[in-house]
């Protein structure tokens, strides 16, 4: 869906002065390893006045001893193809040719990583993180590391009955050493930061300019969605961005070993990535490597259907729970795809609703809408875009959340491809390239200020990040510490991420009430198994939840401590009556104290 677009770096000029002295073989052309597909994308076109980056061959009567000086190599070709001196270290070979652009890139990546590790860590330390979704992945990985059944009680699902996040097994050894939520944050931030390196490499190869790579890597790090993903703290979709971008870069240059590693890692992050890699396989096939592309597409598609139709249903005993997110268009990706074609009017109305238009703007404005100029490359994110548009779940169209992660990756590669394709065909390639890069960087800076969440952004002080230490933080910490490490507890939604390293922790009012449990609220746990309550009374606003808490404290639980609204209570006697039948979603087990809130589910007596 894209092509190789030779361009010129900011400091590279074709037609340099003729070299003097003996003839030397020209170094490998930066894009020699890229396929030619003139029909699909016009790669390696040299019809523009500026496109002649290789000197014209000398006439037969002129000796070939004085060719035009070759361009400074900017690709890793020389370091990969020239034999290294005996004894030279691998690191020395790797860093050969590094200069100021790589130094600036390193500063950007390190500074971004520090910023977006520091801010979420402060949020965690100040009790600003939530069980959904950080607590889900932390408890699930901890259970895996202890050899226990990874049934995540925060979500009421088996870990792999939620999503096929197989890569979590790679984190298990770190949990043996005591890793937890902050470690998950570091993993995600480093994975995202590596995505900037992949964009740098892709732009360096296609635009033949390291500085162009730095500019586009910076645009990715400035991207508002890229920053907000760290506010979510941890999600496999965000972790997958780095491997997905490296997979695209590796496929672009036919670095198939790199591609295999990156593509497999991306797919193991989450089943949705299999769609992106399958589309990438189709792109590879259209670029000329039909057999390899077909294999990648077929294997990725097969894995997607295995994960969504075999693995996840087998783990949760119900089926893919997110099928219900598609509304009227169907109950499976296949049904939705077919019905969207059969009912184009309905699909068009969905795609043009106000919230969709806002989402399009928030996703593409930070790139100056350049990704829309190369829809072939943007197709990598086509599956995610389609699902987000037709989904009935509104959060899929909030640019701040992980549902937009793959779209950011697709936008990044489409931006690189569009700049390369257009500048290569312009009468003045270098000015065109500079103008497009300037537009993208300017849009990224403005969007980062207006929509991002860095310290310079408008959203920094609007409650996105905790403004300062809360005197109650120490009280919360003491409350958590007072609960035995293996005791089951029902806790406040901002406390459970500090208590997930135990077999059973619930978000109050679960398990008394069937809220966000399982696929359809099935098999709610018996409330009699809960040993402790750790709650923040200031967060309990629902009258039903207040009545439930008062009922529990009237006999089943006794208050251990209560300060500044932070309550710790311990079970002292079992419930007066068995829990009864599993309540419907949104309802609670029948209790006399709750009769007024659920007239269709009354307790006797």
Task: Say yes or no to pLDDT of 355 above 60.
Answer: yes
Confidence of residue 255 (pLDDT cuts 50, 70, 90): very high
Q: What is the pLDDT of residue 63?
A: 42
Q: What is the pLDDT of residue 302?
A: 98
Task: Say yes or no to pLDDT of 310 above 90.
Answer: yes
User: Quick one: average pLDDT of 209-225?
Assistant: 98
The residue that leads in pLDDT, 84 or 308, is 308
Q: Which of 279-283, 296-300, 464-468 has the lowest mean pLDDT?
A: 464-468
Task: Say yes or no to pLDDT of 86 above 60.
Answer: no
Task: Say yes or no to pLDDT of 226 above 70.
Answer: yes
CA pair distance 189, 235, nearest whole angstrom: 10
Closest alpha carbon to 230 in 445, 450, 361, 405: 405
User: Quick one: average pLDDT of 494-522?
Assistant: 96
Confidence of residue 338 (pLDDT cuts 50, 70, 90): confident
Length of the chain: 605
Q: What is the pLDDT of residue 85?
A: 54
Angle at 488 between CA 483 and CA 491, to 5 degrees: 75
Q: What is the pLDDT of residue 62?
A: 38
76 vs 33, 183, 255, CA distance in Å?
A: 11, 33, 11
Task: Say yes or no to pLDDT of 38 above 90.
Answer: no
What number of other Cβ atoms are within 10 A of residue 217's Cβ? 28
CA pair distance 224, 205, nearest whole angstrom: 26
Q: Residues 6 or more apart from 534 whose CB is under 8 A from it?
A: 479, 480, 483, 489, 490, 491, 492, 495, 499, 566, 567, 568
Q: What is the pLDDT of residue 501?
A: 98
Paired tokens of 304: 């997607």
Confidence of residue 339 (pLDDT cuts 50, 70, 90): confident
Task: Say yes or no to pLDDT of 16 above 70.
Answer: no
CA pair distance 145, 170, nearest whole angstrom: 10
Q: Strand, coil or helix: what is 394? A: helix
Task: Say yes or no to pLDDT of 517 above 90.
Answer: yes
CA pair distance 226, 229, nearest whole angstrom: 5
User: Quick one: average pLDDT of 323-330?
Assistant: 72
CA pair distance 438, 8, nearest whole angstrom: 15
User: Quick one: average pLDDT of 315-324?
Assistant: 80
The secondary element (H helix, E strand) that includes residue 349 is: helix 344-351
Contact by Cβ (8 Å): 67, 58: yes
Strands 532-536 and 557-563: unpaired
User: Quick one: average pLDDT of 194-201?
Assistant: 98
Q: What is the pLDDT of residues 91-127, one digit of tens each?
A: 676 677 789 999 999 999 999 999 999 999 999 999 9
Full-model pTM: 0.84
Confidence of residue 83 (pLDDT cuts 50, 70, 90): low
Q: Which of 76-85, 134-143, 380-389 has the lowest mean pLDDT?
A: 76-85
Q: What is the pLDDT of residues 359-399, one digit of tens each?
A: 999 999 999 999 999 999 999 999 999 999 998 889 999 99
Query: How confident is the prediction for the chain on average, in pLDDT?
Result: 87
User: Quick one: average pLDDT of 210-223?
Assistant: 98
What number of other Cβ atoms are within 10 A of residue 245's Cβ? 30
Contact by Cβ (8 Å): 132, 516: yes
User: Quick one: average pLDDT of 272-281?
Assistant: 98
Contacts 24+ apart (CB under 8 A), 578-586: 578/528, 579/526, 579/527, 579/528, 582/514, 582/521, 582/522, 582/523, 582/524, 583/513, 583/514, 583/521, 583/524, 584/514, 584/521, 585/514, 585/515, 585/517, 585/520, 585/521, 586/513, 586/514, 586/515, 586/521
Confidence of residue 53 (pLDDT cuts 50, 70, 90): very low
User: Quick one: average pLDDT of 266-287?
Assistant: 97
Helix, strand, coil percentages in the chain from 3-state DSSP, rounded to 5: 55, 5, 40
User: Quick one: average pLDDT of 225-240?
Assistant: 97
Q: What is the pLDDT of residue 466?
A: 87
CA pair distance 102, 213, nearest whole angstrom: 9
CA pair distance 436, 457, nearest whole angstrom: 24
Name the H helices within 270-318: 272-286, 290-306, 312-316
What's CA 234's distance to the chain center, in Å?
9
Q: What is the pLDDT of residue 315?
A: 96
Task: Say yes or no to pLDDT of 10 above 90.
Answer: no
192 vs 109, 185, 260, 395, CA distance in Å?
A: 9, 11, 19, 21
Paired tokens of 553: 């404290």
CA pair distance 197, 393, nearest whole angstrom: 33
CA pair distance 67, 298, nearest whole angstrom: 47
Q: What is the pLDDT of residue 90?
A: 66
Q: What is the pLDDT of residue 73?
A: 44
Q: What is the pLDDT of residue 324?
A: 65
Closest alpha carbon to 206 in 408, 418, 14, 431: 418
Confidence of residue 320 (pLDDT cuts 50, 70, 90): confident
Q: How much of the chain, in percent, has pLDDT values that exceed 70?
A: 84
What number of other Cβ atoms are within 10 A of residue 86's Cβ? 5
Q: What is the pLDDT of residue 93?
A: 67
Q: What is the pLDDT of residue 77?
A: 39
Q: Residues 6 or more apart from 553 whose CB is under 8 A from it?
A: 559, 569
- DSSP character for 34? S
User: Quick one: average pLDDT of 411-430?
Assistant: 97
- DSSP character for 457? S
């Amino acid at each position: 869906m894209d092509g190789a677009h030779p361009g010129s770096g900011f400091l590279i000029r074709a037609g340099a002065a003729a070299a003097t002295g003996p003839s030397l073989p020209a170094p490998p052309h930066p894009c020699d390893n890229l396929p030619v597909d003139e029909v699909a994308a016009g790669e390696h076109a040299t019809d523009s006045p500026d496109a002649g980056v290789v000197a014209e061959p000398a006439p037969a009567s002129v000796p070939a001893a004085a060719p035009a000086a070759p361009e400074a190599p900017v690709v890793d070709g020389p370091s990969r193809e020239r034999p290294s001196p005996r004894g030279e270290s691998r690191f020395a070979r790797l860093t050969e040719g590094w200069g100021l652009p790589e130094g600036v890139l390193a500063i950007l990546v390190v500074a971004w990583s520090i910023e977006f590790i520091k801010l979420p860590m402060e949020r965690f330390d100040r009790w600003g993180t939530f069980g959904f979704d950080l607590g889900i992945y932390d408890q699930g990985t901890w259970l895996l590391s202890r050899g226990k059944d990874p049934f995540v009680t925060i979500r009421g699902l088996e870990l792999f009955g939620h999503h096929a996040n197989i890569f979590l097994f790679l984190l298990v050894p770190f949990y043996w050493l005591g890793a937890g939520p902050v470690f998950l944050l570091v993993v995600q931030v480093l994975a995202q930061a590596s995505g900037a390196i992949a964009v740098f490499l892709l732009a360096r190869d296609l635009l033949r300019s390291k500085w162009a790579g730095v500019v586009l890597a910076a645009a990715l790090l400035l991207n508002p969605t890229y920053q907000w993903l760290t506010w979510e703290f941890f999600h496999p979709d965000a972790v997958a961005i780095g491997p997905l971008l490296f997979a695209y870069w590796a496929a672009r240059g036919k670095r198939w070993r790199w591609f295999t590693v990156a593509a497999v890692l991306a797919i193991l992050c989450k089943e949705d990535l299999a769609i992106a890699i399958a589309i990438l396989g189709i792109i590879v096939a259209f670029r000329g490597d039909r057999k390899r592309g077909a294999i990648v597409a077929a294997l990725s598609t097969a894995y997607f259907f295995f994960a969504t139709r075999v693995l996840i249903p087998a783990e949760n005993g119900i089926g893919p729970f997110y099928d219900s997110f598609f509304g009227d268009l169907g109950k499976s990706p296949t049904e939705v795809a077919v019905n969207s074609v059969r009912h184009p009017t309905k699909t068009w109305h969905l795609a043009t609703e106000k919230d969709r238009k806002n989402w399009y703007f928030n996703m593409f404005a930070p790139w100056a809408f350049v990704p829309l100029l190369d829809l072939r490359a943007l197709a990598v994110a086509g599956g995610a875009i389609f699902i987000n548009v037709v989904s009935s779940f509104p959060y899929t169209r909030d640019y701040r959340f992980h549902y937009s992660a793959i779209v950011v990756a697709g936008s990044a590669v489409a931006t690189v491809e569009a700049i390369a394709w257009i500048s290569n065909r312009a009468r003045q390639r270098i000015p065109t390239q500079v103008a497009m890069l300037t537009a993208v960087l300017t849009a990224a800076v403005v969007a980062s200020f207006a929509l991002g969440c860095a310290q310079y952004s408008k959203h920094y002080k609007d409650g996105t990040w905790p403004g300062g230490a809360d005197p109650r933080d120490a009280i919360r910490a003491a409350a958590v510490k007072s609960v035995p490490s293996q005791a089951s507890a029902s806790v406040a939604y901002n406390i459970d991420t500090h208590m997930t390293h135990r077999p059973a922790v619930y978000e109050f009012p679960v398990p008394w009430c069937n809220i966000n449990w399982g696929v359809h609220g099935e098999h709610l746990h018996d409330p009699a198994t809960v040993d402790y309550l750790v709650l923040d009374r200031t967060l309990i606003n629902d009258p039903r939840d207040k009545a439930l808490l008062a009922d529990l404290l009237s006999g089943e639980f006794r208050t251990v401590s209560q300060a500044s609204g932070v309550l710790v209570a311990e079970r002292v006697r079992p419930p007066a009556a068995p829990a009864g039948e599993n309540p419907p979603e949104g309802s609670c087990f029948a209790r006399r104290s709750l009769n007024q809130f659920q007239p269709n589910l009354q307790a006797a007596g």
